[in-house]
Amino acid sequence: MPTLTSGLYYDSNIYQEQNNMQGSLVGLISPAIAVNSDFSRHSLNLYLSARERYVFEDANASTLSGRALADGRVDVLNDLALNLGGRIELNQDELGDNDVPLTSKTGVRYNVYGGYAGASKTFNRVTVGATGSISHYDYHDVESVDGDVLDQDNRDGYRYDLIAKVSYAYFPGLSFYGSAEFNERNWRDTGSSNRDSNGIELLAGMEFDMRGTIHGSAGVGYLSQDYELETRQDIQTFAYNVELQWTPTALVTVNIIGLQSIEESYVFGSAGQLESYAEIAVDYEFLRNWIFSPAFIYSREDYLGVNRVDNRYRALVKTDYFVNRYMKLGAAYEYERLSSDRPGVSYDRHLLGVNFNAEY
């Protein structure tokens, strides 16, 4: 199924700065195509997309990205399945993002190449499964505002993940699960900049599939990341992973997302960051073809090894009007506030725009 999304919006702070805020109109175009099999057994899915964000006041602040995904399932038996997949991502950070050098002329480009393989087996009410994945990150050098080259090769590296999961179907629509995920991260940085590490996440929770009422999963547990360099601060904390969709009425859908994870940091002096994320979004169907959607998002980034914590608040409201089954018109407003204990980093940002979506 091909789709095309285009939009025009005003960004009050394109560089995400506390002072000397610069506003601009921003154009957006994003084509995509999805191909899904309809086999009676097995499955194969392909997806291609691109996204260009053009900043009219400063073309250097524009970004371009794209994705190619493929995944499939082989039903060996009625209760045994193999899963395979791969991806190629072409990404570009926005100017002002934490991972972009302050003197960079444009956003940093990087590619991600990845693949995974897994299997799952059902024994009556019990399902066991395991999946292994590998991702390679390849960063491109970027030009500085002075014309110099800012080397980004030290950020290249590999990430390996292995997750094992056991679930028990208590009754139709409700399951209990436990999972263990192991990761190893190997980066090009060496010496005192070495960021290599390994970690584990243990979760226990419930999965819901009560169509028309609630769907998704919720789990809590333990999270840790140990760094190879002894001067790096290891991380041990609690974990949570929530992704629920609740439908209290035929006209209202509530989506709740919560996640805590340990990610890489490129802030000087910090090897890793503890990221906490929470989101609640509501879709209200005013009419059969008109949906109103407010949302609130909170995220917290704790940079280990340096005295810095960023709290990010986003409040947004959007509305979508379905002209017919192929076309949709939309409008949205978003307010973003970053509050940091690092001087000069906090900022406010307003985004207001319209968009058009067509699909066949």
Domains of the chain: 59-359 (2.40.170.20)
Rounded CA separation 217/228 (Å)? 33
Residue 250: count of CB within 10 angstroms of its CB: 8
The pLDDT, as a whole number, for residue 157 is: 95
The pLDDT, as a whole number, for residue 247 is: 94
The pLDDT, as a whole number, for residue 102 is: 86
The pLDDT, as a whole number, for residue 6 is: 97
- Token readout for 171 is 């009754």
Q: Return the closest-CA partner of residue 310 out of 357, 350, 263, 354.
A: 263
Q: What is the full per-residue pLDDT of the chain (360 aa) written as tens digits?
A: 899 999 999 999 999 999 889 999 999 999 999 999 988 889 999 999 999 999 999 999 999 999 999 999 999 998 999 999 999 999 999 998 888 888 999 999 999 999 999 999 999 999 999 999 999 999 999 999 999 999 999 899 999 999 999 999 999 899 999 999 999 999 998 877 888 999 999 999 999 998 778 999 999 999 999 999 888 888 999 999 999 999 999 999 999 999 999 998 877 777 788 999 999 999 999 899 999 999 999 999 998 878 899 999 999 999 999 999 999 999 999 999 999 988 888 999 999 999 999 998
- Token readout for 137 is 């990150």
Which residue do the tokens 């599939």 mark?
Answer: 209
Max Cα distance, the chain (Å): 65
Q: Return the closest-CA partner of residue 167 out of 133, 130, 141.
A: 130
Q: Is 105 in contact with 92 (CB distance < 8 Å)?
A: no
Q: Is 165 in contact with 129 (CB distance < 8 Å)?
A: yes
